[in-house]
A and B are shown apart, each in its own frame.
Chain A
Amino acid sequence: MQAGNVYYAEITVPERLDALLDDWDLLDDRVIKKLTTFKEIGENVVGVRRRMVTKDPVTVLDPVKGLLPESIEIGPSGLITQTHEILSLRITVGGAPHRVPHNFGFWHINDVDELYLTLPPPAPGEPAYFLVIMGNPKPSSNEGESWAQYCRECLTMLHEHYYKTAQFGMDGHWRANLAAIREYNSDVKFRTCPECGHVNPLAYVWNTAKDTPEERLARQEW
């Protein structure tokens, strides 16, 4: 602990803050570029997307993926749709299957909670800030996530790939996710419901650059 006036000298100069605290404002133009996918920030994993958002009705327009009008969870009574109003926190509780149509073509089941918050745009006509926050499982934990597929007619689970994030980390996440989706797409038997016979469309990953022509069509469909 410092003594005298030094103790109460407040440090507010940005350059001084930069030297003391790494990336102290995650929305700073210099920092936000690192968060376009996901980045580990201490005990959390954080992503920030810039998207056009309208208030009434609530619509979200991604510059690459187009309109993302809602997100969906599977609950005890079926599908639950959610919108992401500006400055309204949403939490997808760990264990709840969820997806965003046209954004990622699988059901994500995360052991950790996922929090979403949209901040207003800096000026009218500019993109808003869509924040995603989730826990960063410690290697000592047993936490992970699944990428699942359910029958679009009766919600029977058709396919699931579990990834132990705590052990393998975010680095291997994207590659493993792509492998899981490609396995599901590789054989129509995976996509055919054993209960009702419905055949699901192809799946697709979060990153549009990975889409095959067939997956690109699937992204438009569901």
Chain B
Amino acid sequence: MTTKSQPVTNYRIPLVGPEAPDRAWQEASRNYIWSARHAANATRYGVVELLPEGVVRLPERGRIFHAIPAGRAHRIEHAFGFWRTCGADALYIASDYDEGVAYMMVISTAPESYTTDTLHWTCPGCGATLHSVEVPTRRLHLAGLTERALAAVRAFNADAALRTCAQCATVHPPAYGFEPADDNDEERAARASW
């Protein structure tokens, strides 16, 4: 028998250290995985969820492991600039470490019920829905979801009417997509601000 040092699938995804990207979405086997890290003194990513009772923000803790059930709209602030309602459960993990904070979100694509993601924006003034886009993620996979999300963001940003609430006239700030590398100047500024 032989012993090798590399796993056959190579699914070793470091969240910290020189091999780890600052932020990345990737598809690994039947999972979509978001990972990120930052220095201890940087602004933390915040997870917010839309419940009938209001916006729930997870408190900051040294480590947290949280399940967001399929069908619940949620955002990771500074990671994607829209409410995402995923067709599968999302598991969110954050942990302090020696040099800062590391994050991971795992979404399994295995459940047959996971066919779509819905991206939407709500009025920051009154909560009315402004615009919504459904993406057939089962067919498009992560790369397609990322592309469709960016296209939806750009359409939203380009159309003041979409961003203006018909009920209270509040104008939603510009949005941003999943990948910081894709940001234009407007999206980069938006990512930094909300």
What is A's interface to B at a CB cutoff of 8 Å?
A: 1-4, 6-12, 14, 17, 20-21, 24-27, 41-44, 46, 48, 73, 75-82, 85-94, 96, 112-113, 115, 117, 119-120, 122, 129, 131, 133, 135, 138, 140-141, 153-155
B157 at the interface (CB under 8 A from A): no
Question: What's the count of A-B pairs with C-beta under 8 Å?
Answer: 186
Please tell me if the beta carbons of A122 and B89 are within 8 angstroms of each other in the complex.
no
Contacts of A41 in B (CB 8 A): 67, 89
- Shortest beta-carbon distance, B87 to chain A, in Å? 10
- Shortest beta-carbon distance, B70 to chain A, in Å? 7
- Asked, given contacts A24-B58, A81-B5, A87-B14, whether A133 binds B63 with beta carbons under 8 Å apart, the answer is no
| B residues 156-177 touching A (CB-CB < 8 Å) | none
Bound complex: CA of A141 vs CA of B111, how far in Å? 9
Contacts of B129 in A (CB 8 A): 1
| B residues 130-154 touching A (CB-CB < 8 Å) | none
Please tell me if the beta carbons of B29 and A1 are within 8 angstroms of each other in the complex.
no
Please tell me if the beta carbons of B65 and A135 are within 8 angstroms of each other in the complex.
no
Please tell me if the beta carbons of A93 and B29 are within 8 angstroms of each other in the complex.
yes
Q: Interface residue tally of chain B, by bracket?
A: 35 or more
Task: Sample 29 A-B pairs with CB under 8 A, ordered by A number.
Answer: A1-B122, A2-B52, A3-B127, A6-B54, A8-B124, A10-B54, A11-B56, A12-B59, A17-B56, A27-B64, A41-B67, A41-B89, A42-B69, A42-B89, A43-B89, A44-B108, A75-B4, A79-B4, A81-B3, A81-B4, A88-B14, A88-B16, A89-B33, A90-B11, A91-B13, A91-B29, A94-B29, A119-B95, A138-B112
Please tell me if the beta carbons of B54 and A138 are within 8 angstroms of each other in the complex.
no
Please tell me if the beta carbons of A42 and B70 are within 8 angstroms of each other in the complex.
yes
Bound complex: CA of A210 vs CA of B110, how far in Å? 33
B53 at the interface (CB under 8 A from A): yes
In-complex Cβ contact of B108 among A4, A48, A113 (8 A) = A113
Contacts of A155 in B (CB 8 A): 1
B18 at the interface (CB under 8 A from A): no
Give the residue name and chain of the B residue nearest to A119 (CB). B95
- Shortest beta-carbon distance, A8 to chain B, in Å? 6
| B8, B65, B89, B102, most chain A CB atoms within 10 A | B65
Bound complex: CA of A112 vs CA of B29, how far in Å? 10
Please tell me if the beta carbons of B9 and A93 are within 8 angstroms of each other in the complex.
yes
- Shortest beta-carbon distance, A43 to chain B, in Å? 4
- Shortest beta-carbon distance, B27 to chain A, in Å? 11
Please tell me if the beta carbons of A138 and B97 are within 8 angstroms of each other in the complex.
no
Bound complex: CA of A24 vs CA of B49, how far in Å? 12
Please tell me if the beta carbons of A94 and B5 are within 8 angstroms of each other in the complex.
no
B91 at the interface (CB under 8 A from A): yes
Please tell me if the beta carbons of B7 and A73 are within 8 angstroms of each other in the complex.
yes
In-complex Cβ contact of B8 among A80, A119, A154 (8 A) = A80
Please tell me if the beta carbons of A90 and B29 are within 8 angstroms of each other in the complex.
no
A43-B70, A88-B12, A88-B17 known, 8 other contacts, Cβ within 8 Å: A17-B58, A25-B58, A78-B1, A78-B2, A93-B11, A113-B29, A120-B96, A138-B112
What 9 A-B pairs have minimum CB-CB distances, sorted nearest first?
A75-B8, A7-B127, A91-B11, A78-B2, A26-B65, A89-B13, A43-B89, A119-B95, A42-B89
Bound complex: CA of A47 vs CA of B127, how far in Å? 37
| B residues 80-117 touching A (CB-CB < 8 Å) | 88-89, 91, 93, 95-98, 102, 104, 106, 108, 110-113
Bound complex: CA of A31 vs CA of B172, how far in Å? 38
In-complex Cβ contact of B12 among A27, A90, A119, A133 (8 A) = A90
